[in-house]
Amino acid sequence: MNKKEVGTRAVVGLVLCLTTACAHSGVKPSTASPDVITEDDIARIHVRTAYDAVVRIHANFLTRRGSTSLLGTSSPVPNVYLDDVFIGTVNELKNIQANDVASIRVYPAGQSATRFGAGNMGGVIEVYTKH
């Protein structure tokens, strides 16, 4: 094997390692639905708040989406519902202790508008507690 072949193989190996490493970011939920974070998922990742759980498993869902309506009547960030009651935006997740959470479900814009109404075009994070 000459130096050129060794160099080529090394580059290919490095690219494969980097691609694999970059493809896996965060923690995958254990349920069949990738939009649901279960009590078991939260216990597995050892976090303090519901916000921390979403950051670890669905961090991309917390990104700002810019303008979500022509009239500016809808929040560009996800709204949060706790046990079917609107409580605010994602910052409210920091006030919910992870050990109180039974499940967290994330709804992208289209699904959230259908389920919760037009004022939720930034998406919805629905939290159900154990109580």
CA-based nearest residue to 104, from 86, 83, 128, 123: 128
- Round to whole Å and give the CA distance between 18 and 67: 35
Rounded mean pLDDT of 92-120? Answer: 91
- For the cut 60, the answer to whether the pLDDT of residue 24 exceeds it is no
47 vs 5: which has the higher pLDDT: 47
Listed by start position, the domains of the chain span 27-129
The top-level CATH class assigned to 27-129 is mainly beta
- Per-residue pLDDT, 64: 54
Name the one residue in this structure whose structure tokens are 């159900």.
128
Q: pLDDT by residue (tens digit) across 53-105?
A: 999 988 877 765 544 444 455 567 889 999 999 999 999 999 999 999 999 99
CB crowding 44-54: b at 16 or more within 10 Å, else e: ebebebbbbbb
Q: pLDDT by residue (tens digit) across 36-57?
A: 999 999 999 999 999 999 999 8
